[in-house]
């Protein structure tokens, strides 16, 4: 959809995307009853929010500059990168099913590049 909104500034797109995500997820967080703010959790939330905002701005700007098939490949690799980062940063060992799923994502990306 960002491709059709080329004239809209990425800052506005990112702001409204994060605003709607917050409005949708905040009641769920409060409803679960696990919402306790401490100084350390607030600092972590702020770091994550700033980092994700910067990455989202870069991603939105980048989508405007690439072709649709290249944007599709990036969206395929997004969940795969989460698996790799979890393994590297948190030591999570992917299950066999996760490895198969990741392999299918890579194959789909390679097929998209070849076509």
Q: Is the pLDDT of residue 91 over 70?
A: yes
Whether residue 2 has pLDDT greater than 60: no
Give the pLDDT confidence score for residue 60 in this predicted structure.
75
**What's the average model confidence in pLDDT over 78-88?**
85
- For 94-110, write each residue's pLDDT tens digit: 899 988 988 888 887 77
- pLDDT band of 57, cuts 50, 70, 90: confident
- Joined together, the tokens standing for residue 75 give 């969206």
Mean pLDDT of 10-15: 77
Q: What is the predicted pLDDT for the residue at 97?
A: 92
Q: Using CA atoms, how far apart are residues 106 and 95, in angstroms rounded to an integer?
A: 17
Tokens 């080329």, residue located: 6
């Amino acid at each position: 959809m960002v491709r059709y909104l080329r004239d809209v500034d990425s800052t506005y797109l990112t702001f409204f995307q994060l605003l709607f995500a917050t409005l949708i997820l905040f009641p769920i967080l409060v409803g679960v009853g696990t919402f306790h703010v401490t100084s350390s959790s607030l600092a972590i939330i702020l770091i994550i929010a700033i980092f994700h905002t910067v990455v989202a701005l870069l991603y939105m700007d980048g989508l405007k500059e690439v072709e649709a098939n290249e944007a599709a490949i990036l969206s395929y690799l997004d969940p795969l990168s989460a698996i790799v980062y979890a393994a590297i940063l948190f030591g999570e060992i992917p299950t066999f099913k996760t490895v198969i799923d990741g392999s299918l994502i890579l194959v789909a990306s390679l097929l998209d590049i070849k076509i």
